Amino acid sequence: MPDVAEILIPLALDTAYSYVVPEGLRLAEGDVVQVPLGPRETVGVVWGLAQTAGGSNLRPVTGRVDAPPLSEPLRRLVDWIARYTLAPKGSALAMVLRLPDEAAARETARVGVRVSGKAPTRATPARRKVLEAAADGALHGKSALAKAAGVSLSVVDGLIDDGALEAVAVEPEAVAPPPDPDHPRVPLSDAQEAAALELIAGPGKALASPGEGNARVSGSALQPVEPAAPGPVLLEGVTGSGKTEVYFEAVAHCVRAGRQALILMPEIALTAQFLDRFAARFGVRPAAWHSGVGGRRRERLRAAVAAGEARVVVGARSALFLPFRQLGLIVVDEEHESAYKQEDGVHYHARDMAVVRGRLEGCPVVLASATPSIESRVNAERGRYRHVRLPERFGGRRLPDIRAIDMRLDGPERGRFLSPPLINAIKANLAAGEQSLLFLNRRGYAPLTLCRACGHRYRCRNCSTWLVEHRFRKALVCHQCGYAEPRPQACTECGTFDNLTACGPGVERIAEEVSELFPDRRIIVLSSDFPGGAERLRMELDAVAAGECDIVVGTQLVAKGHNFPHLTLVGVLDADIGLTSGDPRAAERTFQLLQQVTGRAGRGERPGRALVQTYQPTHPVIAALLSGDAERFYAEEVAAREAAGLPPFGRLAALIVSAAEREAAEAQGQALARVAEPPPGAMVLGPAEAPLALVRGRYRFRLLVKTERNVDLQSYLRDWLARAPKPRGSVRVAVDVDPQSF
Ligand code: ADP
Ligand code: ZN
C-alpha cells in the first residue's frame, strides 16, 4: 500500500495533485518537493498524506528540495487566502514560495564598488571626489560612496562605466547579531509606558501594579516573560505621539520571549531613517525585506527567518509570507495605507491577512496609525480589536495649527498655483531659517496637455487616461501603463507649432514656480518618478530629515511616516483633488492623507502650522481637518457607511471583466449578470464601464456585489462564477474581494 502525497504546485491551480511517495522517502506535510508535471519537473509542497489501497498509476515524487518546510500556520494561511480571495490555491502558494518581483530584485541586487587602478578617461571635480573617497581600496556601497563624496549616484555609475571603479557583487552578509531588547534607550513618557504595557499585557494591566518598578516595560525586570496577549490591537496615536517607540516595546517583549517579530510597512516608509531608529533602540539594524533585496541575499534571509535566526524583520507587504519559525508579533505600521492592498494577481489586503496570520500563529497583531481605516476603527469600537490610544504628541509638542486659504477670495495670479498668503508664510518661514513642505498629490508637470489651436487633448493610446507632461523627461507619460512619447514641437493633430498648453499643476510645475519665487533657496522635489530610483529617493529623504534643504515639493510620498524635525510649515496646494471622485472611500482617503501630511509639521523643537488651499472650506472633510476634530469625522463617516450598508457593515466584491475588444468584455459582463441570481441580502450591480475603462489596451467592465454581513460572499461568488460561461479568447474575469475603490 503506497503512501500518496497531495502536492500543491505554485501555479494557477485550484487543487493539489496526487503523487506516490517512493519507498524510502519519508515525507511530512509542508515539505518542499520536486515532482514531475507533464514533461517537466516542478517544485511543490506536501499538502496532505494518505494511504491508498491497491496499486495506482500515479507518478512518484522525485525527491525533497533543500528548502525550509512550510509550517502549519503558513499552509493554513495559503488555504485561507485562496478561500477568501477566490484566487487559485496554487497562486496563493506562489506568494509564499517564490515571492514576487524576484527577477526585478535580482537586477537591483546590491553591488559594492572599489577602485580598479585604471585612471578615468575624464576627471571632473565630482569624479575626483568619488575617487578620493574610495582611495582606501576597500569595497564601498554605491550610495554610501556617493554620499561620502557629496555627489549623485550617477557620478559613481559613470565611473563604473568608465572602468575607474569596478563593481563587485557583495556576498550575502551573515545575519546580523540579534536585536538586544535591553539595549540602553531613551526613557518612555508615562503615556507611552502605559500604552506599551497595555499593548503587551492586555487591558487593565497597566494599572495592576501602580508605581512598582517591575511593572514597567522599559527595564528588563519582566524576565522571564510570558508571550504578549494575542489578538489584534489598534494603536491609534496622533502624528508625533511616539507610536514607534511604543510598539518597539512590544517588539522587545517578543524578542525577550524568544520569538520573532515582523514589522510591516508601506514600501516607501522603509527608510534608512527607520532602520537607524530601530538600531538606536535595539543596538543593531533589523533584517529588511523589500523589492530591493535581491538574489542570494534574499535566499539567505529567507533561510535565516525559517531557522529563527532573523529575530526581527522589517518589510513591505510580501514579508507577510516569510516562513517564520516562531512568530510572536506582527506590527502593521500605517495600517490605513492603501499600498497594503495588492491589486493584481492575488488581490489581497496585507493588513487583513496579517490579522489572519496572527490568529493562525496565536500571536498579537498591532495595527498602528494616526488615521486608522474606518474598518479598524469600527472593529475597535465594537470590541473586536483592543484599542490603545496616544492622544497627545510626545514631549508636550503641539499638533500643527491648521488654517484654510479660501481660494475663491485669496487665489493666486493667473497661471500660478501658490496663493499670496501661502507665499508670505513661506517667506516668513525662510526668514526664520525653518523648512517648508509644499504638498500636491500629482506627479509630473501638468496633468493635461492640449493644443490651443485645435483643442486636441493628448491621451494614452492604451488607456482611458490623459497623458501627463513630465519636464524632467521631456515626455508625455501615462500614469496608468507607463506609455510615454516625446513632447511634440508641433501638435500631432493640426500641425501648429508651439501651441501646446500645460493645463493644471503637477509637482514639477510647483517646483518651477517656487524656484522662480525663491531663486537662491535649496529646493528638493520628491515624487516616485524622481530620477535615480529608490536608492536616490532614500538619500533625498534623509537629506530633508537632516535639514539640508529649505523647501520640499512633494507628492503623497512625503506625506507619510517620515520624521522631518526641521519642518514647521506645510502648504497643501489643492486639498480638493481627492474630494470630487465618486468613490465612497474618497472622503476617508482625503482626510487621512491631509491629516498625515499636515502632521509632518512641528515634530521637532519648534511648533508647526499648515495652510490648506481649498475652494470648499466648509466641506465636512476640510472642516474636520481644520477643527482637528477627527472623532466627529469618524462618527459621521461610520454612520454614513452603516446607512449605506457599505464595508465594514456590509460586504463588497468586484468582478472586473477585461478583454482586448470592448464588445467581448461587455458581452462577458452581461453573461455574468444574466446568471447572477443573488441570494437574499445580496445585490449585483452592473456591468458598467470600470472607472478606468481602458488599461494597457484592455477594455474593462465591472460588476459590483454588495451583500449584508451575514451572507457568505465567497460561496456565492464561487457558485456564480461556476454558472457563468467560461471566458474565451482574450477575456479575463478577475475577482477583487473588498475592493479599495468602488
Ligand atoms: P509617530 O509614529 O506617532 O508619529 P514617532 O514615534 O515618530 O511618532 O515619534 C515622534 C518623535 O518623538 C520622534 O522624533 C521621536 O524620536 C520622538 N520620541 C518619541 N518618543 C520618545 C521618547 N520616549 N524619548 C525621546 N524622544 C521620543
Ligand atoms: Zn496608458
Distance 694 CA to ligand 2 centre (A): 8
* Number of neighbouring beta carbons within 10 Å of residue 534: 16
Answer positive or negative: Cα dihedral of 715, 720, 726, 732: negative
pLDDT computed for residue 540 by the predictor: 86
Cα–Cα distance between 176 and 285 in angstroms, integer?
Answer: 8
pLDDT computed for residue 731 by the predictor: 96
Listed ranges 445-454, 650-659, 732-741; the one with the highest mean pLDDT: 650-659
pLDDT computed for residue 1 by the predictor: 58
Distance 717 CA to ligand 1 centre (A): 45
Look up cell 469600527; give the residue: 378
Query: What average pLDDT does this structure show over 48-56?
Result: 76
Q: Is 243 in the pocket of ligand 1 (CB under 6 A)?
A: yes
pLDDT computed for residue 104 by the predictor: 37
pLDDT of 177 > 90? The answer is no
DSSP-assigned states of every residue in 464-518: SSBPEEETTTTEEE-TTT--EEEPPSB-TTT--BS-EEEES--HHHHHHHHHHHS
Query: What average pLDDT does this structure show over 371-383?
Result: 94
> Which set of grid coordinates corresponds to residue 125?
571635480
Distance 191 CA to ligand 1 centre (A): 12
Find out whether 503 is annotated in a ligand binding site: no
Find out whether 463 is annotated in a ligand binding site: yes
Look up cell 491629516; give the residue: 595
pLDDT computed for residue 103 by the predictor: 38
Cα–Cα distance between 48 and 53 in angstroms, integer?
Answer: 16
Closest CA to 286 of 259, 320, 251, 258: 251
Mean pLDDT, all residues of the chain: 87
Q: Is 603 in the pocket of ligand 1 (CB under 6 A)?
A: yes
- Where residue 2 falls among pLDDT bands split at 50, 70, 90? low
- Residue among 333, 334, 392, 394 to mutate when testing ligand 1 (max atoms within 8 A of CB): 394
Query: What average pLDDT does this structure show over 442-451?
Result: 91
pLDDT of 5 > 60? The answer is yes
Q: Is 237 in the pocket of ligand 1 (CB under 6 A)?
A: yes
pLDDT of 170 > 60? The answer is no
pLDDT tens per residue across span 355-364: 999 999 999 9
pLDDT tens per residue across span 561-572: 678 999 999 999
> Which set of grid coordinates corresponds to residue 210?
501602580
- Residue among 369, 563, 597, 606 to mutate when testing ligand 1 (max atoms within 8 A of CB): 563
Q: So what's the ipTM on this one?
A: 0.97
> Which set of grid coordinates corresponds to residue 2?
503506497
HSE, CB side, 13 Å, CA atoms: give it for residue 74.
24
pLDDT computed for residue 208 by the predictor: 37
Query: What average pLDDT does this structure show over 36-40?
Result: 92
Query: What average pLDDT does this structure show over 351-355?
Result: 97
Q: Is 340 in the pocket of ligand 1 (CB under 6 A)?
A: no
Find out whether 460 is annotated in a ligand binding site: yes
The residues, any chain, with a CB within 8 Å of residue 427's CB and separated by 6 or more, are none
The strands making up 523-526's β-sheet, listed across from edge to edge, are 401-406, 609-614, 567-572, 435-439, 551-554, 523-526
Q: Is 104 in the pocket of ligand 1 (CB under 6 A)?
A: no
The C-alpha angle 169, 171, 175, rounded to 5 degrees, equals 145
Distance 277 CA to ligand 1 centre (A): 10
Distance 500 CA to ligand 2 centre (A): 20
> Exposed (0-12), middle (13-18) or buried (19+): which is 325, by Cβ within 10 Å?
middle
Q: Is 242 in the pocket of ligand 1 (CB under 6 A)?
A: yes
Cα–Cα distance between 167 and 155 in angstroms, integer?
Answer: 14
pLDDT of 543 > 80? The answer is yes
Look up cell 456591468; give the residue: 687
Q: What ligand 1 atom has the least distance to the C-alpha of 599?
A: 4
Q: What ligand 1 atom has the least distance to the C-alpha of 192?
A: 23
pLDDT of 214 > 50? The answer is no
Distance 442 CA to ligand 1 centre (A): 29
- The residue ranking higher by pLDDT, 519 or 117, is 519
pLDDT of 515 > 70? The answer is yes
The 3-class secondary structure across 673-687, one letter per residue, is: HHCCCCCCCEEEEEE
Q: Is 186 in the pocket of ligand 1 (CB under 6 A)?
A: yes
Angle at which helices 142-149 and 533-545 cross, to 10°: 40
Long-range contact pairs involving 121-125 (C-beta distance under 8 Å, separation at least 24): 121/162, 122/162, 124/155
Q: Which of 133-142, 368-377, 415-424, 460-469 has the lowest mean pLDDT?
A: 133-142
Query: What average pLDDT does this structure show over 349-357?
Result: 97
pLDDT computed for residue 229 by the predictor: 75
> What ligand is nearest to the CA atom of residue 265?
1
Distance 453 CA to ligand 2 centre (A): 25
Q: Is 334 in the pocket of ligand 1 (CB under 6 A)?
A: no
Q: Is 563 in the pocket of ligand 1 (CB under 6 A)?
A: yes
Element (H, E) at 572: strand 567-572
> Exposed (0-12), middle (13-18) or buried (19+): which is 184, by Cβ within 10 Å?
exposed
Measured by CA distance, the residue closest to atom 23 of ligand 1 is 188
pLDDT tens per residue across span 601-645: 988 888 999 999 999 999 999 999 999 888 989 999 999 999 989
pLDDT tens per residue across span 264-316: 998 766 677 788 899 999 999 999 887 777 777 788 888 899 989 999 999 99
Q: What is the pTM of this model?
A: 0.84
- The residue ranking higher by pLDDT, 636 or 170, is 636
Query: What average pLDDT does this structure show over 473-494?
Result: 88
Residues with CB under 5 A from ligand 2 (ion): 460, 462-463, 478, 480-481, 483
Cα–Cα distance between 346 and 214 in angstroms, integer?
Answer: 46
Closest CA to 740 of 381, 375, 234, 480: 375
Q: What is the dihedral of CA 180, 186, 192, 196, to 10 degrees?
A: 10
Find out whether 481 is annotated in a ligand binding site: yes
Q: Which of 20-24, 69-73, 403-407 has the lowest mean pLDDT?
A: 20-24
pLDDT computed for residue 136 by the predictor: 77
pLDDT of 212 > 50? The answer is no
pLDDT of 8 > 70? The answer is yes
Q: What phi and psi values does residue 374 have, to the nearest 5 degrees? A: -55, -40
Measured by CA distance, the residue closest to atom 18 of ligand 1 is 242
* Number of neighbouring beta carbons within 10 Å of residue 12: 13
> What ligand is nearest to the CA atom of residue 476?
2
- Where residue 70 falls among pLDDT bands split at 50, 70, 90? very high
- The residue ranking higher by pLDDT, 442 or 110, is 442
The residues, any chain, with a CB within 8 Å of residue 428's CB and separated by 6 or more, are none
Answer positive or negative: Cα dihedral of 22, 28, 29, 35: negative
Find out whether 363 is annotated in a ligand binding site: no
- Residue among 238, 245, 606 to mutate when testing ligand 1 (max atoms within 8 A of CB): 245
Find out whether 549 is annotated in a ligand binding site: no
Q: What ligand 1 atom has the least distance to the C-alpha of 604?
A: 14
The strands making up 475-477's β-sheet, listed across from edge to edge, are 468-470, 475-477, 484-486
> Which set of grid coordinates corresponds to residue 349?
489586503
pLDDT computed for residue 131 by the predictor: 87
Query: What average pLDDT does this structure show over 474-503?
Result: 88
Which percentage of the chain shows pLDDT scores above 90?
59
Q: What ligand 1 atom has the least distance to the C-alpha of 237?
A: 3
pLDDT computed for residue 78 by the predictor: 97
> Which set of grid coordinates corresponds to residue 179?
536585536
Answer positive or negative: Cα dihedral of 348, 352, 354, 359: negative
pLDDT of 533 > 60? The answer is yes
* Number of neighbouring beta carbons within 10 Å of residue 692: 15
pLDDT computed for residue 224 by the predictor: 47
